[in-house]
Amino acid sequence: MKKKCLALLATAVMALTLAACGGNGNEPATDAEVNGGAMTEAGGDTFTIGFSNRSADTPFFANMTFIIEDYAAEKGIEVVAINANNDVEKQNRDIQDLLQRGIDVLIINPVNEEGPSAGIRAANDAGVPIITIDMNVASGADVWVGRDNYNMGYLVGNRLIELLGGIDATGTVLEIQGAAGSTTMMARRDGFNAAMESVPGLTIVQSAFSDFDRSRAIPATQDLIQAHGVDVVAIFAHNDDMALGAAQVVREQNIENVLVTGIDGLMEAVLAIQIGDYQVTASNDPVLLSHMAVDAAIALMNGEDVPDFIDAGTVIIDLYNVDDYADPDLDFATMVGN
Amino acid sequence: MKPSMNMILKKYNLLILLLVFIVIASILSPNFLTVSNFFNLLQQASIPGIVALGMTLVIIIGGIDLSVGSVLAFSGMVASMIVLHFDGSYGGIIIGIIAALLVSFVMGLMTGILTSYFKLPDFIASLAMMEIARGAALLTTNGNPVFGLGERFNFIGGGFIGGRLAVSAIFWILLTVLVALILKYTVFGRSLYAIGGNKEAATLSGIKTRINYVATYIITALLAGFAGILTASWMSTGQPTAGTGAELDAIAASVIGGASLSGGIGSAFGTFGGVLLLQILTNIMNLVGLPSFYQRIAKGLIIIFALLLNKYVSKSKAK
C-alpha cells in the first residue's frame, strides 16, 4: 500500500515537474546578490538601481547582471541585483523586496510580458521609475531598452538570400525554431520569413520547437536533413546556439554548400564564421544593451526626457566584417567601441 | 504444447510494439527505413539510453533518481573545463573524464546515503541533489557554456566508426549488455530485485539493503556522469543547462520498457527498447513534419498507450 502511494506520488510530481520544465529554470533559489560599489563620481548625486533579472542559466542573461553592476560602479551608482530563476512569482516577490530596500529606480528583465504586473504596480505606487531591458512588460514601464528581433530575423534573411544568389535562388531552407510561445521566437521567425517571401524558389521547412537549446537542435536538424536531404541549401536557427548545433550536423555528415545562419553574435559562432563553418549572425550584444539601460536610469534620475523605446540596434556579422568582432576572450560580439 | 498467441504477446510485447512502430513509420515516410536513418537513430538514442539504464537500476530497487539530468550537466562541465585547461590533450582528456566521474560518484554516494542511512524519501533526496548539482553546474562558469574543446575530445561522444556507427552508440550497447549480465548473474543484481520486491523480506533474508542502495545510486550517478561527458564531447561544448528534463525521459523509457515504479521489476534490454521507441517517435514525427504542438500530444498519447499495453500484458502474465 505504502509503495503504491509512493508510486502515485511519483507520477503526480513527475507531471508537475514536466509542466514546470518549460522555462528550464531549475537551479536553486539564490537570493539577493548585492554589490555595494558606490564610489561617488565628482558632482553627481548617487542613487541605487534595483535590477530584477529573469534568470542566470543562459550566458546572455547571466552576463547582464555583471555588466550592469560593473558599468554602474564606474558611474558611482549602487546596484542591488536579484535573479528570478525564470519564476514569475519569484520575480514579483523580488521586486517587492527591492522596493523594501529603498531603490530609486528599477531595471527589470521580465520572465514574460504579463507576469510581473503585481511588482510593476507596486513600483508604480511607490513612485519608482521602471526600465525594462530586453523584453518589455504589457504596461507600467517608463522606458523599454530592447532590440527589434523582427528586424534581426529580416536582416539575416536578406543577407542569406544574397549569399544564395539573390531573387532566383532555389532550394530548401531549414528553420530551427526556438521556444514555443516566446515573443523573441515569433519576432525572429516572422522577420526571417518576411525576407524569404521575396524569393519564390526557396521553400522553408520549420523544425519542431527546440527551446533555443543546442542539444535539442542537433537531433531536429539530423531528422530534417534525413527527410529533405539534397534539397537543403541553408539553415537558419532562431539563435546561434542552435545554429552551431546545425553546423555540427552539416560538418559530421560532410554535406557541402549548406549555409548556416543564426542570431545573437555568440562568440563561438563569430569564431566559426572566421573559419568558414558558419555564414551569418546578427549581434545581440548584452554589453551595449545593459549600458543603455543604466544610461537611461541616469537620465531618468536627472529628470531628462527619455523616449518610451530605446533600440539598442544590431549589426550583421559575416565573413566581410568578422575580424572586427572576433575576440575569444568575450562571450558575445560587442558593438561597444566598434 | 502449441505456443498460444497470448504467450507470444507476453514474452515479446515490447518487441512487437517496436515492430508495429517501425512498420507504421516506414509507411508514413520513405526516409525512415534507410541505413543512414538507422544509424542516426542509434546515435540520437545513445545518450538518453545510458541515462535511462541507470534509472532502471534505481527503479528496480524501488527508488527513483531525479538528479540524473543535473549530474549529467555538472559532470559535463567538469570534464569540459579540465579538457579546455589542458588544450584538449590526451592527458587532459583522461584527467577530465576521471574528475567528472569522481564528481558523479560523490553525488551518487550522497543521494544513496541520504536515502538509505538517513531514510529520506528517494524522491525528495534526489530532488535536492538535482537542485544542488544544477546549481553547481551553473556556478562553474556563471552559466556560460565552455567551448573550443578540440577534435580529440570530440571522438568519444561525437565520433563515428566507419563513418556511420556512432562511438556513443557502441558505449550504449556495451553498457546495456553489461548491466543485463550484472542483473542476471551477480548476487548484487539479484539483490536489487529482492529489495525492490519486498524490502523487509530481503533484509530478513540477510541482504544488506543499505549498502546495495548506496551502490545503486552510485552506479546510476556514474552512468549519468558518463552520459554528461559524452554530451559535452558530442557538442564540443560544456553546457550547464544540458540534460534538463532528462530524468523524465529516463523514467518514461524505463517504464515503457517494463519497469514498475513500485520496484522489483525492470530490465536493461526492456529499457533499451523503451528508449528506442521514444526516439523513433520523435524521429518519425520530424520526418513527416508534424507540427511541434501535435508532436507533444502524440508523444503523450503513445506513452499512455504503451503503458496500458504493458499493464494488460503483465496482468495476463500473472494469471
Could you report the per-residue pLDDT of A234-283, keeping only the tens digit for each? 999 999 999 999 999 999 888 889 999 999 999 999 999 999 999 999 99
The three-state secondary structure class of B166 is: strand
Q: Do A21 and B244 touch (CB under 8 A)?
A: yes
Could you report the per-residue pLDDT of A192-218, keeping only the tens digit for each? 999 999 999 999 999 999 988 898 999
Nearest-Cα distance to chain A for B2, in Å, is 37
What is the mean pLDDT of the segment spanning B23-27? Answer: 88
Interface test with B, best of A16, A61, A224, A226 (most B CBs within 10 A): A226
What's the CA gap between A327 and A331, in Å, rounded? 9
Going from the C-alpha of A163 to that of each of A171, A270, A279, A316, A319, the distances in angstroms are 13, 17, 9, 13, 11
Chain A contact present for B40, CB below 8 A: yes
Position B11 scores a pLDDT of 65
Q: Which of A80-94, A316-330, B302-316 bottoms out in mean pLDDT, i.e. has the lowest?
A: B302-316
Q: Do B145 and A241 touch (CB under 8 A)?
A: yes
pLDDT cut 90: percent of chain B above it: 59
State the amino acid at position A14 in one-letter form. M
For cell 556511420, the residue is B164
What's the CA gap between A208 and A162, in Å, rounded? 27
Higher pLDDT, B282 or A152: A152
Residue A206's nearest CA partner among A184, A187, A221, A191 is A221
Nearest-Cα distance to chain B for A42, in Å, is 33
Phi, psi of A89 (to 5 degrees): -65, -40
Position A283 scores a pLDDT of 96
Q: Do A248 and B235 touch (CB under 8 A)?
A: yes
In which band, very low, low, confident or very high, does the pLDDT at B4 lie, cut at 50, 70 and 90? low
**Cβ distance A56 to B143 under 8 Å?**
yes
Higher pLDDT, B205 or A27: B205
With DSSP H G I counted as helix, E B as strand and the rest as coil, what are the percentages for chain A, rounded to 5?
Answer: 45, 20, 35
In which band, very low, low, confident or very high, does the pLDDT at A27 lie, cut at 50, 70 and 90? very low
In which band, very low, low, confident or very high, does the pLDDT at B85 lie, cut at 50, 70 and 90? very high
- Chain A, 222 to 241: residues with Cβ < 8 Å from chain B are 222-224, 226-227, 229, 241
What's the CA gap between B120 and B213, in Å, rounded? 12
Q: Do B241 and A208 touch (CB under 8 A)?
A: no
What is the mean pLDDT of the segment spanning A120-131? Answer: 93
In which band, very low, low, confident or very high, does the pLDDT at B2 lie, cut at 50, 70 and 90? low
Burial label for A15, CB within 10 Å (0-12, 13-18, 19+), is: exposed
What's the CA gap between A4 and B19, in Å, rounded? 32
Residues of A with Cβ-Cβ distance to B242 under 8 angstroms = 215
What's the CA gap between A63 and A42, in Å, rounded? 28
The winner for highest mean pLDDT among A71-75, B279-283, B308-312 is A71-75
Any idea of the CA torsion for A74, A80, A86, A87, to the nearest 10 degrees?
Answer: -170
Higher pLDDT, A29 or A225: A225
Q: Which of A35-39, A154-158, B281-285, B307-311 bottoms out in mean pLDDT, i.e. has the lowest?
A: A35-39
Position B222 scores a pLDDT of 98
- Nine-digit cell string for A183: 515573443
**Cβ distance A236 to A175 under 8 Å?**
yes
Query: Closest to A7 (Cβ–Cβ): which among B245, B262, B289?
Result: B262
Could you report the per-residue pLDDT of B234-261, keeping only the tens digit for each? 888 898 888 988 999 999 999 989 898 8
Chain B contact present for A252, CB below 8 A: yes
Sheet containing strand A171-177, strands side by side: A202-209, A171-177, A232-237, A259-261
- Interface confidence, given as ipTM, is 0.73
Could you report the per-residue pLDDT of B284-293, keeping only the tens digit for each? 888 887 777 7
Residues of B with Cβ-Cβ distance to A27 under 8 angstroms = 131, 134-135, 138
Residue A223's nearest CA partner among B312, B34, B51 is B34
Nearest-Cα distance to chain B for A211, in Å, is 11
Chain B contact present for A302, CB below 8 A: no
Strand (E) or helix (H) holding B208: none
Angle formed at CA B10 by CA B6 and CA B11, multiple of 5 degrees? 125
